[in-house]
A and B are shown apart, each in its own frame.
Chain A
């Protein structure tokens, strides 16, 4: 009986999550493109060899890692600050919390279009600002040195509320008397943050981080609408490259190879990020010892 309750959901999950991975693994060892009339023909490891030598892939991989690293890093710092602010008691806090959620709820493509106008040269507000500030016109979306920063900016704007909300939930589980104990012993806010807040927030930081790294690595909507991968593919992400290969060049075999490689990479990165954070953030038991001693 129980099995019948689980079966429909399980079946759907297998079709949508597990099936594709096997399909990609299989396709990545086949030529399947317009050249073969969209029929899969085994080609040994030719796709993988091509991937190894594909400069555009490696460039996109570097760009994707840069995008994910910088935006997730900024986002966590910002989210922690926002969560600390929202954790304090003040009038109108709930209203502000709701309002900060709005960027997260909007469809990515909607605001990506908005950001295109904001970063527009010469009519957008950012361009007006840099001119007023004496820096001059930067041509943000047309310059490979700046365009990727614009994508990071837009991503941080959209996804920080989510991380802040997770961290806020964590902050609200920390009992207030722990802070009082530190203050009684003459500790200041900074010591509170290091000895109490961060260690107890650890599982929440880990969760927000893993989720955001995985999502940022797969960035697609934002970049496709904001820059289209340009200028000169300087903001192109791996997901966008896989998409071009499938839908523009109609090369399903190679697109699968890119996706398969990305999937393995993202799993590795998540494992490493998790281990790294285990070391970086002290556990609570240690910190409690530090307070008591």
Chain B
């Protein structure tokens, strides 16, 4: 009984705030102000209609975030896979040292980098381009990606590659046909974590993108919130919150295994 109570409490704590948004998003404006309104005026879909018919429509932000997420993930993996492999084949001391540096970089509160990155964006005209955002995103998720993938390469038996070498396979062939398929679970975890990071990233997207048609979801949400605390259309906000949450809730429900294994293998071995 005691445990059941604790579990309910945990679920209420985790999901309550989100469910409250779902509830709010279907409430009419009057119902939000007067909690004891009669049933006829209580429920409405207008908040969703408003958000979806706004200019630009809400789904535009989801598409933008999706484009940025996918391109960042691909770029990150293309760079991290060879680096993670090579990290085991440099002198041991150097390898340990670089792993330490990577842990340090992964811990670093990257928000402090926004100003220098903004200068880079200005210098190379990278502002207001969705695909350009994948450069800083791939770079910022590089430490975590390399560490996770390096762990996976470490777990492979070394005889495997030696045998492939004796068969005369080149480095690229070994990579393509033997190593990559074997570490695909770790690659999947890494990819999802990088995607999550890119989807959720705010400070850099905020400073790089100003065109309202190219905003990513987090920046769009903040812009919606930009007005004063007191004169706020909360029904529409709640609808936006719900719509913005749905893709990620689905992502977590579908990919919970690789997410958990990615986060924990980083902790267990890193």
Give the B-binding residues of A (Cβ under 8 A).
Answer: 1-3, 5-6, 8-10, 12-13, 15-17, 19-20, 23-24, 82, 85, 88, 90, 94, 96-103, 105-118, 120, 123, 125, 128, 141-142, 157, 161-162, 165-166, 168-170, 173, 204, 207-208, 210-211, 214-215, 217-218, 220-221, 224-225, 227-228, 230, 239, 242-243, 246-247, 252, 255-256, 259, 262-263, 266, 270
Chain B residues, CB < 8 A from A115: 17
Contacting A220 at CB < 8 Å: which of B11, B140, B203, B252?
B203
B244 within 8 A of A: yes
- Least CB distance from A169 to B in Å reads 4
Interface residues as binary, B108-133 with A (CB distance below 8 Å gives 1, 0 otherwise): 11111111111110000000000000
A243 to chain B, nearest CB (A): 7
Number of chain B residues close to chain A: CB under 8 A: 85
Q: Complex Cα distance A215/B108, Å? A: 7
Task: Check: B136 CB closer than 8 A to any chain A CB.
Answer: yes
* Interface check B171, CB cutoff 8 A: yes
Closest to A173 in B: B268
A102 & B15 in contact (Cβ 8 Å cutoff):
yes
Q: Are A5 and B82 in contact (CB under 8 A)?
A: yes
Counting residue pairs across A and B whose Cβ atoms lie within 8 Å, the total is 245
Chain B residues, Cβ within 8 Å of A168: 264
A107–B14 contact, CB under 8 A?
Answer: no
Least Cβ distance of A276 to chain B in Å? 17
| Residues of chain A contacted by B142 (CB below 8 angstroms) | 9, 12-13, 16
- A88's partner among B3, B35, B89, B207 (CB-CB below 8 A) is B3
The residues of B that contact A88 with a CB separation of less than 8 Å are 3
Do B113 and A101 touch (CB < 8 A)? no
- Could you list 15 further interchain pairs (A-B, Cβ under 8 angstroms) beyond the known A12-B135, A106-B248, A157-B17? A6-B86, A10-B83, A100-B14, A105-B249, A108-B200, A110-B218, A116-B225, A117-B232, A117-B237, A166-B263, A214-B108, A220-B203, A221-B218, A228-B229, A270-B107
4 tightest A-B contacts by CB?
A218-B109, A20-B116, A169-B264, A9-B83
In the complex, the answer to whether A24 meets B241 with C-beta atoms within 8 Å is no
A-side contacts of B256, CB under 8 Å: 94, 97-98, 101
B139 on the A face (CB < 8 A): yes
Q: Which of B18-26, B44-52, B156-164, B183-191 contacts A (4 or more CB under 8 A)?
A: B18-26
Q: Are B202 and A220 in touch, CB under 8 angstroms?
A: yes
| Main secondary structure on A side of the interface with B | helix
B111 touches A218 (CB 8 A): yes
Q: Are A263 and B225 in contact (CB under 8 A)?
A: no
How far is the CB of A244 from the nearest CB of chain B, in Å? 12
| Minimal beta-carbon separation of B256 from chain A (angstroms) | 4
B43 within 8 Å of A (CB atoms): no
| Residues of A close to B68: CB separation below 8 A | none
Task: Give 29 pairs: A residue, B residue, CB < 8 Å, sorted on A.
Answer: A1-B171, A6-B90, A12-B79, A12-B135, A13-B142, A85-B6, A98-B252, A98-B256, A102-B252, A106-B249, A107-B200, A107-B217, A110-B217, A110-B241, A110-B245, A116-B237, A117-B20, A117-B232, A118-B17, A157-B14, A166-B263, A211-B107, A215-B109, A220-B202, A227-B229, A239-B112, A242-B112, A247-B207, A259-B112
